[in-house]
Amino acid sequence: MSALDTSGMNANLGKVAVLMGGASAEREVSLMSGSGVLKALRAKGVDAHAFDPSERDLRDLQREGFARCFIALHGRFGEDGTVQGALELLGIPYTGSGVMASAISMDKVMTKRIWRFEGLPTPAWSQVHSAQETRAAFAQLGSPMIVKPAREGSSIGFAKVMRIDECEAAYALASKHDPQVLCEQFIAGDEVTCPVLGSTQEPRALPVIRIVAPDGNYDYQNKYFTDVTQYLVPANLPAGEEEAIAAMVCKAYSVLGCRGWARADVMIDAKTRKPYLLEINTSPGMTGHSLVPMSAKAAGISYEDLCVLLLQNTALDARASA
């Protein structure tokens, strides 16, 4: 894929708020993402300012004349449609998906229901509300089984259950973060991720990245705070697989109504080579370990150019052409 057209980047984008921090369990990661975005935008001559919604009134955005927002928030109250809804009311365009697509994409169960309805492959699952229901899901889905909060990211509250006597602890961990808990069939094989840019109708996939984590354990620590995980781009998958995954991820993005950007995570069954969609992130990380910048770089788009490109495509639901 050739580099995207990033001409005109130094056009007047007005006063820009980089929303970072927030009140979710991913606050620490969001601060890292936001700091990187802020530095990149300023390097490109953008009048960008840090803004932490957990410490300031969002109405200050309007009072202080901000023209648009770059959402570098992750998780609840930032990626789930709540901030997007507030910005809609304030009339301030923002990066990424609108209210409905953000809310649905944050909820892994709702996302999987839509994907399944649209004929897209996703691992079998069960939504549970107790340790007893978790044990019943284990009997149905088999070992290993993944247990995680339905509305969290960054592998927070995630557990891989090998035996039925581990179900209670796994449920307790996940339910600490969300009363809605998802049990999911484990797919053994290659783990890949694919970012998408563009409108709902015309999504463009960036290069697929294959993730090789120690013992297959791509957890919170290995995502953000170690250098032991390998990220392979090009992914060096068998012929045709990367193209098929890119097409599948673009459809997954479109059927949810996403716009601006997102990143979908996929597991490829080692035996059948069938890809399965796990989840989609509508406000992906922008840290030094993050995957969207890595994929963009492979497509010839620098971190700074990517930030400005996303900012140029801010929108409001009421005005979005997508």
Q: Which residues are known catalytic residues? A: 26, 154, 224, 263, 265, 279, 281, 285
The answer to whether the CB of 209 falls within 8 A of the CB of 233 is: yes
Question: What is the 3 state secondary structure string of the chain?
Answer: CCCCCCCCCCCCCCEEEEECCCCCCCHHHHHHHHHHHHHHHHHCCCEEEEECCCCCCCHHHHHCCCCEEEECCCCCCCCCCHHHHHHHHHCCCECCCCHHHHHHHHCHHHHHHHHHHCCCCCCCEEEECCHHHHHHHHHHHCCCEEEEECCCCCCCCCEEECCHHHHHHHHHHHHCCCCCEEEEECCCEEEEEEEEEECCCCEEECCCEEEECHHHCCCHHHHHCCCCCEEECCCCCCCCHHHHHHHHHHHHHHHCCCCEEEEEEEEEECCCCCEEEEEEECCCCCCCCCHHHHHHHHCCCCHHHHHHHHHHCCECCCCCCC
- The encoded tokens of residue 42 equal 């300023």
* CA–CA gap between residue 20 and residue 37 (Å, rounded): 10
* CA–CA gap between residue 308 and residue 241 (Å, rounded): 31
* CA–CA gap between residue 305 and residue 119 (Å, rounded): 35
